[in-house]
Amino acid sequence: ELKVEQNPLFLSMQEGKNYTIYCNYSTTSDRLYWYRQDPGKSLESLFVLLSNGAVKQEGRLMASLDTKARLSTLHITAAVHDLSATYFCAVDIYGGSQGNLIFGKGTKLSVKP
Amino acid sequence: DAGITQSPRHKVTETGTPVTLRCHQTENHRYMYWYRQDPGHGLRLIHYSYGVKDTDKGEVSDGYSVSRSKTEDFLLTLESATSSQTSVYFCATLSTLAGMRDTQYFGPGTRLTVL
């Protein structure tokens, strides 16, 4: 059974600080996805990581993928309040591109002044 | 925004009644999905479709059925709603176009309450 585990599940940060969210998964896959969800809203795609060693950056967020360790990280640099949201990672069940995703439980990030 | 709409957006129903949720997309995406989101569980895949009349079960399919008679519409039916099906339901589509490949887009969600 494919499992996707995120930690921490809750994260309270001060503005200007750095932190990393971890996503571990239990089966072979070279595709990993990161999403953001604001309260009461839908999911927004942040990053699609398609190979071992993939690194993508958008603003203060950087995601990386290590398929050998079955680990992805989402690094937050100099956090600002606007980054407060819940972040999900997801892995394709079949390790391919069919889009059948297993999601982690999410990391609720709160950035305080 | 992949032009995904869901209807209804909110619904309250009673145990034992059938309920149908609709997902409509305007992007001609071939792949479509239904997920449910519950506190502490993240999102879980219910059913998916790879094309018209081509559907299959996901992780939590018991008590649900789907149909896809047109590319743009994917219907989720709760045959006899139970309180455990109270949830927020999201539809998603997958673009397979070069440059947007693997990007899965989500609809706005339907909040369903079963009393």
- Among B38, B43, B90, B106, the residue to mutate for chain A (most A Cβ within 10 A): B43
Whether A113 has its CB under 8 Å from any CB of chain B: the answer is: no
Cβ contacts of B48 on chain A, cutoff 8 Å: 98-100
What pLDDT score was predicted for residue B85?
A: 97
Cβ-contact B31, B100 below 8 angstroms: no
Q: Which of A35, A42, A101 sits opposite B107 (nearest CB)?
A: A42
User: pLDDT-based confidence at A9, cuts 50/70/90?
Assistant: very high
Residues B56-95 have pLDDT tens digits of 999 899 999 999 999 999 999 999 999 999 999 999 998 7
Give the Cα separation of A83 and B47 in Å (integer): 31
Give the Cα separation of B48 and A31 in Å (integer): 18
Closest CA to A42 of A93, A88, A3, A100: A88
Cβ-contact B85, B37 below 8 angstroms: no
Residues A26-73 have pLDDT tens digits of 987 778 999 999 999 999 999 999 888 899 999 999 999 999 999 999
Give the Cα separation of A105 and B94 in Å (integer): 21
State the DSSP string of B53-111: TEEEE-TT-TTEEEEEEETTEEEEEESS--GGG-EEEEEEEE--STTTTT-EEE---EE
What pLDDT score was predicted for residue A31?
A: 84
